[in-house]
Amino acid sequence: MTEEKVRIDKWLWAARFYKTRTLAATAVTGGHVHVNGIRVKAARSVSVGDELRIVRDGTEFIVIVQALSDKRGPAVIARTLYEETEASKTARENQVSERRLLDLGRFFPPPKRPGKRDRRLIRRFTKKA
């Protein structure tokens, strides 16, 4: 953990943004990760103080690197590797609330299959319409 520079794909994996290093490298080469506003390659080194913009599953994280590690550890330690900006936190919370509002208009199936009486009512309703 006392290294001065670490490959960005290793750091993203160690910070638990991605489940595997291959997924992290694919995201970096796919343009989903920017370092200090610049699109980079997976072999790019990241150092303490760099600002990363990470887009994962439609959610954007803006984090500042606080510590370096190329080994994946527990989630508690992984959270100490970075600090998320306040703007990023509020934007993510707004996205979550918007998604919840969109889900309210969805159709959810009934909790059980219709019984004999329910089927009769459904048939009666659909024949009149």
CB atoms within 10 A of CB 85: 14
Tell me, what CATH number does 80's domain have?
Answer: 3.10.290.10
| pLDDT band at residue 10 under the 50/70/90 scheme | very high
For strands 6-7 and 45-46, give the pairing: antiparallel
Q: Which domain holds residue 39?
A: 6-107
Q: Is the pLDDT of residue 3 over 70?
A: no
Say what the pLDDT of residue 21 is.
Answer: 95
Residue 81, CA atoms < 13 Å, CB-side half-sphere:
27
Per-residue pLDDT averaged across 43-56, rounded? Answer: 94
- Residue 127 located in a structural domain: no
Domain count, the chain: 1
Say what the pLDDT of residue 92 is.
Answer: 92
